[in-house]
Amino acid sequence: MHLILLRTALAGGLATAALTACGSAGGTSSDAAEGKITIVSTVAPITSIVANIAGDRARIEGVVPEGTNSHTFEPPPQVSRVMEDADIVFVNGLQLEEPTFELAEENAPDDATIVKLGDEVLPESDYLYDFSFPKEDGKPNPHLWTDPTYAIKYADVIKDTLVERDGQNAAYYEQNHETFVAKATALSDALKADQATIPAGKKQLLTYHDAYAYFAKTYGWEVIGAVQPSNFEDPQPKEIARIIDQVRERELPVIFGSEVFPSKVLEQIAKETGARYEDTLRDDDLPGEPGNPEHSWLGLMRYDYVTMINGLGGTTKALDALDVSDGAPDRATYPQ
């Protein structure tokens, strides 16, 4: 209510000056003039899910550039200006983007809604601690969005938040939500169909970046290791030797690097074990460029699943045939 009153007051002579002052990256003053709400989000896959629900009825600003290490990302000072305009801020939470969350708390208007999606959908009893996220560090594995069942839960929270903050567009958000859930469910079904073609007992992942823990639990995969240590430095030689033994013992045909974190260590492990080094998995850098149809959460996850399944000797007929285009127009800003 407070927000609406404020906007009405601004509709007088002050509007032009106020809008010029607020005109930060990406949005246009015409968005604000149309009364569109402003949403700030963090990593690109979350921005994409938000865009699938909010469509063209909101101004959406992603603030974590694609291809950066989102786990250690420190937002530059201009992000505080973006936060000043926010009606809603969506972060992943589970301690992934603490500096950005703190910036939101300090700079977003008092009546802004700040939502930690992961904390909303995952009870503490279901937190996973593992290779790069050991329990003694106190930070759970934050990568819920690589599992479609959790991405759908994120979409539920995003829809509810939008309906609450912008009730006049409720029917639009609900329709977009329904479309997104159908698309994410189709992705999940295609994944289940195609992963059944992997030779028995071979749904095993050795990755560099530790982004598939919840996915593995839901879909019956085994993450045998994630090479990246919790401090995001290179692993110790003793640890590398242990991983080499494990790859030989399991006769892994392929080990999975990350496009965001090129690794000489994985190259070395591949050379010594004969496993193929597939270095293009990605957890928060969407394929293609903003505006391309595959530049979406759906495109990202399809890419990863196809890469994993093909690498392990399966086929991907169902995933290849999937339509990964967005269900609603994506006008979000994705910093590169």
DSSP labels for 102-115? HHHHHHS-TT-EEE
CA atoms within 13 A on the CB side of 94: 24
Single out the residue of 300, 261, 270 nearest to residue 67, CA to CA: 261
- Give, in degrees to the nearest 5, the angle at Cα 123 between 119 and 124: 90
Cβ nearer to Zn ion, comparing 194 with 285: 285
Cβ nearer to Zn ion, comparing 85 with 283: 283
Strands 58-62 and 113-116: unpaired
Instruction: Name the closest residue to Zn ion (Cβ).
Output: 283
What are the tokens at 221? 């995969």
Chain positions 33 to 52 lying near Zn ion, rule: CB under 5 A, are: none
Cβ nearer to Zn ion, comparing 49 with 328: 49
- Closest distance to Zn ion from the beta carbon of 244 (Å): 24
Q: Cβ(258)–Cβ(279) under 8 Å?
A: yes
Cβ nearer to Zn ion, comparing 55 with 148: 148
- Closest distance to Zn ion from the beta carbon of 235 (Å): 17
- Closest distance to Zn ion from the beta carbon of 40 (Å): 20
Examine residue 283 and tell whether it contacts Zn ion (CB under 5 A). yes
- Closest distance to Zn ion from the beta carbon of 228 (Å): 9
Cβ nearer to Zn ion, comparing 24 with 263: 263
Cβ nearer to Zn ion, comparing 61 with 284: 284
Q: Which amino acid is present at 185?
A: T
Examine residue 66 and tell whether it contacts Zn ion (CB under 5 A). no
Single out the residue of 240, 251, 301, 249 nearest to residue 276, CA to CA: 251
What are the tokens at 182? 């159908």
How far from the centroid of its chain's Cα atoms is residue 152's Cα? 12
How many positions of this chain bind Zn ion (CB under 5 A)?
A: 2
Chain positions 211 to 230 lying near Zn ion, rule: CB under 5 A, are: 211
Q: Which stretch binds Zn ion (CB under 5 A): 18-26, 132-140, 282-290, 328-336?
A: 282-290
Q: How many residues in the chain?
A: 336
- Closest distance to Zn ion from the beta carbon of 283 (Å): 4
Q: Which stretch binds Zn ion (CB under 5 A): 97-105, 173-181, 206-214, 287-295?
A: 206-214
How far apart, in whole angstroms, are the C-alpha atoms of residue 235 and residue 246? 15
Q: Which stretch binds Zn ion (CB under 5 A): 13-21, 34-42, 129-137, 276-284?
A: 276-284
- Closest distance to Zn ion from the beta carbon of 288 (Å): 19
- Closest distance to Zn ion from the beta carbon of 146 (Å): 9
Q: Which amino acid is present at 57?
A: R
104's CB contacts (< 8 A; 6+ apart) are 40, 83, 86, 89, 91, 112, 114
Cβ nearer to Zn ion, comparing 211 with 226: 211
Q: Cβ(214)–Cβ(147) under 8 Å?
A: yes
- Closest distance to Zn ion from the beta carbon of 70 (Å): 6
How far apart, in whole angstroms, are the C-alpha atoms of residue 95 and residue 10? 37
Footprint of Zn ion (CB under 5 A): 211, 283
